Chain A
Amino acid sequence: MKVDIRLMGKLTVFFTIFAFVAVLPLLPASAAAENVVKVGNIIPLSGPSASVGQQGKQAREMAVAEINAAGGIKSLGGAKLQMIYADSESKPEKGVAEAERLINTEKVNVLTGCWNSAVTYPTTAVAERYGIPFIVPVSVADKITEQGFKTVFRIAAKDSWWTRDQFAFLKDMEKEFNAPVKKLAFVYENGDWGKGFAEQWKALAKKGGYKVVLDEPYPSTSTDLSPVVQKIRRVKPDVLMLVSNAADAILLTNTLAEYKVKLKAVIASGGGHADPSFLKATGKNARYLFDIVEWETDVNKPGAKEANAKYKAKYGYNLAGEAVDAYLAMYVLKDALERAGSLDPAKIIKALAATNLTSGPGMIVGYDAVEFGKDGQNKHASLVMVQINDLGKGLERITVWPKSARRSGYTPVFPMPNK
């Protein structure tokens, strides 16, 4: 008896799915009839990344409200964007299940998400299987756009571009200030993150013709970093490149100043150097340091200041890189939908692939255009370099690179003057 019930249960599920799949092609017109575009968003709304997921949600809401208020998608008869959120809890299996649900039950036209690379990676495979376009505002793992998928479009820069941009920035600075740099020192925390960066730095230094004079992984739990600073002093590098967590970033910056190490520039990699308490705990010792970030509130782009002010008034804090990517993603989608003029997934995908967005309310990022390569990666995406300096109002992070995004009226300090 027991067995029979189980079998029947299985059969029921099987037939339900079968019926579902069989009927599916018969009803594509029904969604369009309601005159909405259903956008499914899989983001972490609870769990360890909930805070960043919330920001992504808020930025999407803000953009969608603007788009709908401005008349929706005109080529679709003023269709409104309808947002459907699903919580991934930062769990890959949850992301996959939610993607299935959004596609089959909610019948979404487009998917976006998922912030956590570990969730985005398997979830994009679901979208690819159903042929539903998937916009990835930001998930940094390189492999997401290296699966040969036709439906995946990533807006933000990928992991390996962080180091690429640090070197591109250095080359640009050398040219702009006519101050050649030869010797590099790499000092990084000895975990996955630091070692991954150092691997790429070494390859880039070789390609760029630099000499690496120090390659020093150190434990982030160090209570004394003067031995490391002594080593830096001893090899006399032109530029010091760092990957640090918070406590060690503070300790290194202060110890470098104590030992009066002379450097042309210090280039950090976010993390500890971007920690809110870093500037307070290092004070003027952090002056002139360069750091890489996804976005900074002072980027010199039309609309950036206004968008940030609006966001801050609404949600109480500044836009962050992740939020800006999500905000832009909605405008990229709107642009593609306008050109597609249809809710046929294949047509939306084709329109997304032909994207060349250079202006509009969404373009408040540091780079100048959104244009997807064959792999679906935004070719123009880049990161932003900031310099820590005091312009009379205390230490602040000032955008300096790319040059088109540089805060107007600011000239970066390079090489660093002797303190």
Chain B
Amino acid sequence: MQMRASFAKWRSLHLTFNRDADMNFILEGTINGILMGSIYGLTALGLTVIFGVLKVINFAHGSLIMVSMYVAYWAIIFTGVHPYIALIIVVPVMYFFGYYLQDIIIKPIFKAEKDIREPITVIIVTTGVWYILDNLTLLIFGPQYRSIQNNPLRGKMLEFGDMLISVPKLWGFVTAVITAFAIYWFLQKTRTGRAIRATSLDREAASLMGINQFKIYNIAFGIGTAVVGISAVTLVPFYNIFPSVGVLFDIKGFIIVVLGGLGSIGGAILGGIIIGLIESIAPMFMTATWAEAIVYALFLVVLFVKPSGLFGVKYDW
């Protein structure tokens, strides 16, 4: 009895306070991880949509994020609107950017390699597009780091006692979930969506059914790029914009889509959240450098154990 009492006393003196504080930090870290992770997922969503249909790893993905961020940046700076209203400009601009990028640059090479299921040359072309876009931006806008100082979301935090939650990240989370459901609904329920899925399953058969497969590729590339545009809008309220910003996100994007399963929409968001949680919680127990190593280690483990990804299926859609 006495021992228990003294233990309780000792606990109340030393542990309780620290534990509450720790719980607070872990909860805060978890929430931050989920919010930031869903944004990572959203940046990877466009990659997975494009891969699902074209079976092409788009190495220019990071550059598309970068271009979208610049489009969003200038749209917000020139019009002075709330960052999320810029979606009205960014989404159509990026849709057509992606549509014509595929139509003009990628399609001719695709046609030259149309008998191959996973065209390698196209991957090399996307790498070229990456370099061209990054360097063009560097030439036009210079190496400066830009950020939107006066936007209603910047630096806003929700406060629950000691716990702080970033408002722009919360908006990003909501946007990511809505976007993922919208894409899913579009692919399942609309006529174009079904045509996209049919092309993804079997190009030849889809063509025989009267689907213009190259038109579908254009549309899929456009949709993927438009989703990239949405992710860029979630990033600009709190992130910097510079010519090589895409590189930071596309490495993460590749890990996320492989983790979640290439071509899987839910997998991209969940894969993103897993990465976000590791990045956010692991540094509490080790340095941030090690936390990054864990992300890559997990990536390798998933490749060994389940090469199709955590939520991927053996076959396509």
Task: Report which A residues bind B (CB closer than 8 A).
Answer: 190, 215-219, 221-228, 230-231, 234, 246-247, 250-251, 254, 257-260, 275-278, 280-283, 285
> In the bound complex, how far is the Cα of B248 from the Cα of A246, in angstroms?
14
Contacts of B291 in A (CB 8 A): 227
- Interface majority SS (helix, strand, loop, mixed), chain B: helix
B287 touches A216 (CB 8 A): yes
B240 near A: Cβ within 8 Å? yes
B149 near A: Cβ within 8 Å? yes
What's the least CB distance linking B161 to chain A, in Å?
13
B126 near A: Cβ within 8 Å? no
A-B pair count, CB < 8 Å, reads: 98
Selected from B145, B242, B249, the residue in CB contact (under 8 A) with A223 is: B249
B175 near A: Cβ within 8 Å? no
Contacts of B157 in A (CB 8 A): 258-260
Q: Given contacts A224-B36, A226-B32, A226-B166, is CB(A218)–CB(B145) below 8 Å?
A: no
Q: Taking A219-B288, A277-B145, A278-B145 as given, write out 7 further A-B residue pairs in contact, using a Cβ cutoff of 8 Å, ordered by the A residue number.
A: A227-B283, A230-B25, A254-B238, A257-B155, A258-B166, A259-B164, A280-B146
A281 touches B289 (CB 8 A): no
What's the least CB distance linking A23 to chain B, in Å?
53
A217 touches B238 (CB 8 A): no
B155 touches A258 (CB 8 A): yes
Contacts of B238 in A (CB 8 A): 254
Count residues of B near A (Cβ-Cβ below 8 Å): 38
Selected from B40, B239, B289, the residue in CB contact (under 8 A) with A219 is: B289
Contacts of B242 in A (CB 8 A): 247
Selected from A218, A222, A226, A276, the residue in CB contact (under 8 A) with B144 is: A276
Segment 286-304 of B: residues with Cβ below 8 Å from A: 287-289, 291-292
**Chain A residue nearest in CB terms to B147:** A281
Contacts of A234 in B (CB 8 A): 21, 25
> In the bound complex, how far is the Cα of B166 from the Cα of A226, in angstroms?
10
B280 near A: Cβ within 8 Å? yes
B155 touches A254 (CB 8 A): yes
> In the bound complex, how far is the Cα of B248 from the Cα of A214, in angstroms?
26
What's the least CB distance linking A69 to chain B, in Å?
39
B107 near A: Cβ within 8 Å? no
B118 near A: Cβ within 8 Å? no
From B146, B157, B280, B289, residue with most partner A Cβ within 10 Å:
B289
B252 near A: Cβ within 8 Å? yes
Contacts of A246 in B (CB 8 A): 145
B287 touches A217 (CB 8 A): yes
> In the bound complex, how far is the Cα of B228 from the Cα of A157, in angstroms?
48
B279 near A: Cβ within 8 Å? yes
B29 near A: Cβ within 8 Å? yes
**Chain B residue nearest in CB terms to A258:** B155
Contacts of A215 in B (CB 8 A): 287
B146 touches A281 (CB 8 A): yes
B288 touches A281 (CB 8 A): no
- Residue-wise, chain B 149-165 has the 8 Å CB interface mask toward A (1 for contact) of 10000010100000010
B288 touches A217 (CB 8 A): yes
Interchain Cβ contacts under 8 Å between A and B, 19 examples: A221-B251, A223-B248, A226-B32, A227-B32, A227-B281, A227-B283, A227-B284, A230-B28, A247-B145, A250-B240, A251-B240, A259-B157, A259-B164, A260-B157, A278-B145, A280-B147, A281-B240, A282-B147, A283-B149
Contacts of A225 in B (CB 8 A): 288
Contacts of B251 in A (CB 8 A): 221
Q: Given contacts A258-B164, A281-B145, A283-B149, is CB(A227)–CB(B279) below 8 Å?
A: yes
> In the bound complex, how far is the Cα of B280 from the Cα of A282, in angstroms?
23
What's the least CB distance linking A105 to chain B, in Å?
41
Contacts of B21 in A (CB 8 A): 234
Contacts of A254 in B (CB 8 A): 147, 155, 238
> In the bound complex, how far is the Cα of B251 from the Cα of A266, in angstroms?
31
A224 touches B279 (CB 8 A): yes
A-B interface, 3 closest residue pairs, ranked by CB to CB distance from nearest: A218-B288, A227-B283, A277-B144
A250 touches B145 (CB 8 A): yes
Selected from B40, B240, B248, the residue in CB contact (under 8 A) with A221 is: B248
Q: Given contacts A226-B32, A250-B240, A258-B157, is CB(A219)–CB(B280) below 8 Å?
A: no
B287 touches A218 (CB 8 A): yes
**Chain A residue nearest in CB terms to B166:** A258
> In the bound complex, how far is the Cα of B164 from the Cα of A257, in angstroms?
12
Segment 199-251 of B: residues with Cβ below 8 Å from A: 238-240, 242, 245, 247-249, 251
- Residue-wise, chain B 70-93 has the 8 Å CB interface mask toward A (1 for contact) of 000000000000000000000000
> In the bound complex, how far is the Cα of B155 from the Cα of A66, in angstroms?
51
> In the bound complex, how far is the Cα of B155 from the Cα of A223, in angstroms?
16
